Structure 1
Amino acid sequence: MDKPFFLALDFRTGEDVKQFIEQHNFHGLPVKVGMELFYREGISMIKWLKEHKHPIFLDLKLHDIPTTVEKAMYNLANLGVDIVNVHASGGSEMIRAAKRGLEAGAVGQLPKLIAVTVLTSMDQQVLHEELYVKQPLDEAVERLAQLTKDSGADGVVCSAHETGRIKEVCGKDFLTVTPGIRLVDSNTNDQKRVATPAFAKKNGADYLVIGRSITKANNPSQNYQRVVEEWNNA
């Protein structure tokens, strides 16, 4: 994959996606398909994106009992997407079940399996006061990353602020996919642990997920190019 940036297609309908891609000449770029779009358009959206040569991160964040996750991953495995994910907090048995499902259901290339550590919309206060996680946030992320690796997955979703330490603990080949990416002059919206493309690269991120800084921009093509330049010049 020559461009390590997944454009988050957080649109309501498939027609919105097609219009956006066509209008801004984003043909063939890596994209992230999340719950909002997949729950409305389903597999037909994935097929359309595959037909138009888009690498795909299918971001459904599965989190259920191991048997259910294994069967779900079996069904997702033959869609031809590049990356799928679960929540690391589902535990080692669930992560291993997800990998079994992918391996059993894959036709051709096996999708990479990654696990969400701590959502980038969360901060230390949420962990301590709402979830009663007493560890410091960075230690909680590190623990979940190590659990993910030990359970046979390929990497994690984490903040760019945590990628350096995760690489130290889990190895340079362990993938780090970082959402919460913002250009300097962009609104952070509901994200708390945000970072610029340059910071993410310097801290060891393998892939960026970037949405509203591009999709809500007055000039999405220009902002996408800014991401590319900032990454390349970091």
Structure 2
Amino acid sequence: MYYEALLKLMKRRIIDMVNGKEKLIVAIDTDNFEKAKEMIDKLEDSVDIFKVGLEQYVATRGKTLDYLKEKGKKVFLDLKFHDIPNTMKSAVKAAVRDNVWLMTIHVSDMEGMRQCAEIAKEEAERLNIEKPLIVGVTVLTSLSNEDLQDIGCSMTAEELVIKRAKLAQKAGIDGVVCSAREVDKIVEICGDDFVTVCPGIRPATAEIGDQKRVVTPSDAIRRGAKYIVVGRPITQAENPKEAAESIVREIENA
């Protein structure tokens, strides 16, 4: 019991030393490049990592990604690749050439995920750049247990997330996207080095919106989340910079 308590205290101190900016990812979810650019400019002193999702990437033909790289920011390319292994492999290879920091694929068949992990490593070595992290989407945070039952899944969201996290780790990708409600169990099963990216994060005072499995920033960090993704509570705030800095402080004080 003594050593378990000591280990928890050591982990707590490590978290305390981490700069909150290193754990916060801000989602730029808009179909307008000028609006995205304006938001990035407002947040550039307060945020180091930005998420470019499907809507933003397609609408701007990747211009936002290029702008973020010009600013020296880390890019989380959240396109959630989900296709046959060869197509996913090719998509990952192209994303590596864009020198993104992190990207998403769906947790699917073992062979597809394994090929994605291998090509990312090979292409990064060929280009002499740092290999981007690849994380697998387990269960979208907009889905509830009832939603899963509606599409024929007998597992709860938590059960399915944990099963898919194990598959992702076995296939060799770096981590998963999951709700912070399941992150402590994933860390327990897959270890501290397995990357956990948690969307559906809402400060206590924010509206939930279309998310169903939400957690506050401080609770997510206490549960073991490596990174948290926050969108509208920052980008739609009256003062986005102030909102981002408030969440950074909440992370650091978790």
Q: Do both proteins adopt the same fold according to a TM-score greater than 0.5, normalized to the shorter chain?
A: yes
1:58 maps to amino acid: L
CA contact (8 A) 1:99 1:153 kept: yes
CA contact (8 A) 2:179 2:199 kept: yes
Runs of 4+ off more than 3 Å: 23-28
Distance 1:24 1:100 in 2: 35
Instruction: Report the alpha carbon displacement of residue 218 of structure 1 after superposing the two structures with TM.
Output: 1.3
CA contact (8 A) 2:52 2:78 kept: yes
2:3 match: none
2:31 aligned with 1:31, yes or no? no
1:215 maps to amino acid: T
Question: What per-residue deviation string (whole Å, max 9, x for no partner) do you get for residues 47-81 of structure 1?
Answer: 22111011111000000000110111111111111
Question: What per-residue deviation string (whole Å, max 9, x for no partner) do you get for residues 129-165 of structure 1?
Answer: x221112221111000000000000000000011100
2:123 aligned with 1:105, yes or no? yes
**1:92 corresponds to which of 110, 117, 121:** 110
1:184 match: 204
Distance 1:44 1:27 in 2: 21
Higher relative contact order, structure no. (Cα contacts within 8 Å, ≥ 6 residues apart): 2
How many residues align? The count is 232
2:229 aligned with 1:212, yes or no? no
Q: What TM-score, normalized by structure 1, do the two folds share?
A: 0.94
Distance 1:45 1:23 in 2: 14
Instruction: Report the alpha carbon displacement of residue 23 of structure 1 after superposing the two structures with TM.
Output: 3.6
Question: Which structure 2 residue ranges, 5 or more long, are not aligned?
Answer: 1-17
Distance 1:50 1:25 in 2: 12
Distance 2:113 2:249 in 1: 36
Q: What TM-score, normalized by structure 2, do the two folds share?
A: 0.87
* Identity value in percent: 37
CA contact (8 A) 2:37 2:64 kept: no
Instruction: Report the alpha carbon displacement of residue 26 of structure 1 after superposing the two structures with TM.
Output: 4.4
1:149 match: 169
Q: What RMSD over aligned residues (CA atoms) do the two structures have, in Å?
A: 1.5
2:86 aligned with 1:53, yes or no? no
2:219 aligned with 1:199, yes or no? yes
Helix, strand or coil at the partner of 1:187: coil
1:162 match: 182
2:58 maps to amino acid: Y
2:143 aligned with 1:125, yes or no? no
Distance 1:28 1:145 in 2: 28
